[in-house]
Structure 1
Amino acid sequence: MRLTFDEDVEKFRAEFAAFLDENLPPEAEATERSRSSAHIPEWARRWQRLLFDEGWLLPGNPPEFGGRGATLLQQYVHLEELSRRGIHRSFNPQGLGIIAASLLSFGTEEQKLKWAVPILRAEITAALGMSEPGAGSDLAGLRTRADLVDGEYVVNGQKVWTSGAHDADVLLTFVRTDPDAPKHKGISVLLIPTDTPGVTRRPFGSIASSEELDFNEVFLTDVRVPAGNIIGEPHQGWNVATGSLGHERTMLWMGFAEQLENLTGQFRPVTELDRDRFATLVMDARALRLMGSAALARAARGEQDVAALSVLKVFGSEAVQTALGHALDAAGTEALDHPARTVPYNHMSSEAFSAGWFERYARSFGGTIAGGTSEIQRNIIAERVLGLPRS
């Protein structure tokens, strides 16, 4: 395998690197941090708008949507350069990577201009209303209902684990519009402004932190939404859902590879067992990078390999969790320390506030859930790779 890129791709990388060198916000300007995944400080809004205007936000998009028509490999080195420097394009990742992407894929031209562009330009932020108390990884089990009455949808139900909802301006909300249809049918998608009467958002803590609030439970009580806010065709929300998660999974493995590679420089093996675990960490990091590069090469040739993304998702998320668990063991009681919240070498990183080993390990469980749980990914691998019958 030749892990190099053609001259045009490296030229693209160099152009982007020069842009970052010239335009990265100074640390003194970027002191305010994001308080949730749908809160963007004003300096970060300016940064995201600059990326959009210069075509560096989502370079694969056309210019009117924050890009420059980049090839897949050019998009990869763009993300690689951001990852290498620890820079985030947006502090509203689900708005950028899932919701705006879904609007561009399934929305009307009017919806793209009214909702997608403001999200991409950080003028508004968005949250994803998908999971429910009785329908987490099983979207088809959702019960939130939307009835069409006089040109409006009247929505009643509840969402949970809705990251950043208390700071978001809009919710991309999955609802049941045909209760008589089979489970996977009869689902639609509505874009609901959070200031609509009847929308109640309640943030709550997590195992990682009871103080830093991002998760929300959202209650929808007789919420009236214009019929024009439906995304895609009525009762075809399952297609939007699979497309939404597809946007999230495409290069998700890169983040796991970066975490593993960073851990190789932070893990301090002492005992023989620690050294064995460190060797596994190094091999996992290299294996994930190689497998991901192979999948990328196939995608660049136009080959569709959904199962490969599932393999990368399971392996990457669980390798990170295992490595953090071993680091937790090696640190002993010191792993329970909560270091002072300080800004490290790069103030643009989402990890700009350092965390103790326990908090990092606790957060790793989210990696095995977001973008499709490990259990669901294993079902896909069983059916599409191993050829096992559907359960």
Structure 2
Amino acid sequence: MQLTFDADVEEFRGEFLAFLAEHLPDEAEAGERPRSSADVPEWARRWQRKQFDNGWLLPGNPPEFGGRNASILQQYVHLEELSRRRIYHSFNPQGLGIIAASLLSFGTPEQKERWAAPILRAEITAALGMSEPGAGSDLASLRTRAVRDGDSFVVNGQKVWTSGANEADVLLTFVRTDPDAPKHKGISVLLIPTDTPGVTRRPFASVCAEDDFDFNEVFFTDVRVPAENLVGGLNQGWGVANGALGHERTLLWLGFADRLQDLVEDFRPVTVLDRDHYATLAMDNQALRLLGSAALARADRGEQDVAALSVLKILGSEAVQTASEHALDGAGFDGLVHPALTAPYTPWNNDHFASSWFERYARSFAGTIAGGTSEIQRTIVAERVLGLPRS
């Protein structure tokens, strides 16, 4: 067992730290705050382009797409240093981590050049059109329809929970193109510019905060989309979906580990958690990092362990939620209104750093839903780890 990184990985870390020391925007430069997950202020666009041009945006990518062909361990220490400083490499995370990544995996050379590169360079922003009113976790139940008409598809239907759609320039949209095929096999993916006639976006508030309008309903009424915007082939959308979520999940556990570490540090000086609950939080944090490190080592050896990623997501997301719930209980009625912390705004502090205990708890449910619900993750563990029959 090796508990340290090799010299080449530490050298990689040192190069990245030197880049941050020279180029990281300061608070005076980064005054404007994003309004949604696809609203990227100009200073943040410059920051993202600076990373892209120097190969530090997504180091695992080839140089022409903002990387330097980094190994999985090098990618890990890159994210580790970002999270340690609470730095965002992009304020359009779904555009960077899901949409652009999916285009690099499944798109044509023209699509990579026209869409992926501008998203990575923060020239445009993107949102993910997956969930529908009747198809949330069960993507295969989607009903948004796309019918081929000459050199275009005509799209009709609705999406919901589409984060950042009101500010995004393009939607990676999952549609049904063969209603007679088995539900997993009749799905395709289209890139739909949001200024296309017939696209209507309606943001709505979150339970977490009345001024949080990241969620959207999106309606498509006879929307004509060029056939060249088809991603991954006709009726091949299920594979694209699995790839898209795979990009999101590979190092997803690290985000939960960072949240747990934040909670450990934030709860230390306050009394909202009793000793037993604080000890549980600290142990969950350590357990997640150890299990995540083991999964990371397997990935570095080229081994795919989907079940391990499911275990990590369950542990991380539910540990964050449990700790937040106990904190809200400990704060009592004051937890509904009083800020959990009063840290001043910086370019990198997330809004939950200065939110109430209730907001922290309410936001924790996103972790047990996005990227595959806890119920779905338990099904994967039951079938692939425990060998239980499919229900």
Instruction: Please confirm whether the aligned pair reaches a TM-score higher than 0.5, indicating the same fold.
Output: yes
Q: 1:345 to 1:291 in 2, by over 3 A?
A: farther
1:328 partner amino acid: L
Q: What is the CA deviation profile of residues 325-354 of structure 1, one whole-angstrom value per residue up to 9, with x for unaligned ones? A: 111112222212254997648522444862
* Contact kept? 2:352, 2:360, Cα under 8 Å: no
State the Cα distance separating 1:17 from its structure 2 match.
0.5
1:11 partner amino acid: E
Partner residue in 2 for 1:134: 134
Partner residue in 2 for 1:231: 231
What is the alpha-carbon distance in structure 2 between the residues aligned to residue 200 and residue 270 of structure 1?
47
State the Cα distance separating 1:264 from its structure 2 match.
1.1
1:208 partner amino acid: C
Partner residue in 1 for 2:158: 158
* Contact kept? 2:190, 2:231, Cα under 8 Å: yes
Q: 1:340 to 1:299 in 2, by over 3 A?
A: closer
What is the alpha-carbon distance in structure 2 between the residues aligned to residue 78 and residue 302 of structure 1?
19
What is the alpha-carbon distance in structure 2 between the residues aligned to residue 336 and residue 4 of structure 1?
43
Partner residue in 1 for 2:368: 368
Q: Does 1:3 align with 2:3?
A: yes
Partner residue in 1 for 2:382: 382
What is the alpha-carbon distance in structure 1 between the residues aligned to residue 234 and residue 209 of structure 2?
39
TM-score (norm 1): 0.97
What is the alpha-carbon distance in structure 2 between the residues aligned to residue 344 and residue 295 of structure 1?
36
Q: What is the CA deviation profile of residues 228-253 of structure 1, one whole-angstrom value per residue up to 9, with x for unaligned ones? A: 00001100100000000000000010
1:125 partner amino acid: T
* Contact kept? 1:86, 1:346, Cα under 8 Å: no
Q: Does 1:286 align with 2:286?
A: yes
* Contact kept? 1:92, 1:126, Cα under 8 Å: yes
Q: What is the CA deviation profile of residues 45-79 of structure 1, one whole-angstrom value per residue up to 9, with x for unaligned ones? A: 00000000000000011000000111110000000
Q: What is the CA deviation profile of residues 150-203 of structure 1, one whole-angstrom value per residue up to 9, with x for unaligned ones? A: 110000000000000000000000000000000101100000000000000000
Q: 1:2 to 1:337 in 2, by over 3 A?
A: farther
State the Cα distance separating 1:301 from its structure 2 match.
0.6
* Contact kept? 1:317, 1:367, Cα under 8 Å: yes
What is the alpha-carbon distance in structure 2 between the residues aligned to residue 53 and residue 282 of structure 1?
39
Partner residue in 1 for 2:84: 84
Partner residue in 2 for 1:188: 188
What is the alpha-carbon distance in structure 1 between the residues aligned to residue 31 and residue 38 of structure 2?
18
Unaligned runs of 5+ in 1: none
Equivalences for 1:133-282 in 2 at 5 Å? 133-268=133-268, 270=271, 274-282=274-282
2:136 partner amino acid: G
SS at match of 1:259: helix
What is the alpha-carbon distance in structure 2 between the residues aligned to residue 200 and residue 343 of structure 1?
37
1:370 partner amino acid: A
Unaligned runs of 5+ in 2: none
* Contact kept? 2:124, 2:168, Cα under 8 Å: yes
* Contact kept? 2:128, 2:173, Cα under 8 Å: yes
